[in-house]
């Protein structure tokens, strides 16, 4: 599939970060995001679904996390249990 991938491409109602096309169809669509918490992830999910058509069967959100995983887990538990 050499040469069929594009970045920052307009698709349906907005732009997508990665679009891999095959013929007249989209084989794969992805958004790239840095981890900023569960709320931001929900917004990224809404963005991805908002630009997806019924013909788009393979989509993803690629999350980049500069923090160690244990820090991320602790942060989510603090928010879940309302800890300082």
Q: Decide the pairing of beta strands 25-34 and 5-11.
A: unpaired
- The pTM score is 0.62
- Count the domains in the chain: 1
Give the domain extent around 37. 5-81
The per-residue pLDDT for range 2-29, each reduced to its tens digit, is 558 877 777 666 777 888 888 777 788 8
Per-residue pLDDT tens digits for 22-58: 877 778 888 898 888 788 888 888 877 777 777 777 8
Return the exposure string of 70-82: e unless at least 16 CB atoms fall within 10 Å of the residue's CB, then b.
Answer: eeeeeeeeeeeee
């Amino acid at each position: 599939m050499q040469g069929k991938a594009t970045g920052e491409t307009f698709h349906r109602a907005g732009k997508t970060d990665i679009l891999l096309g095959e013929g007249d169809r989209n084989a794969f669509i992805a958004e790239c995001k840095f981890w900023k918490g569960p709320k931001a992830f929900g917004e990224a999910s809404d963005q991805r679904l908002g630009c997806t058509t019924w013909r788009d069967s393979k989509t993803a959100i690629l999350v980049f996390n500069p923090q160690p995983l244990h820090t991320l887990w602790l942060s989510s538990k603090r928010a879940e249990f309302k800890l300082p």
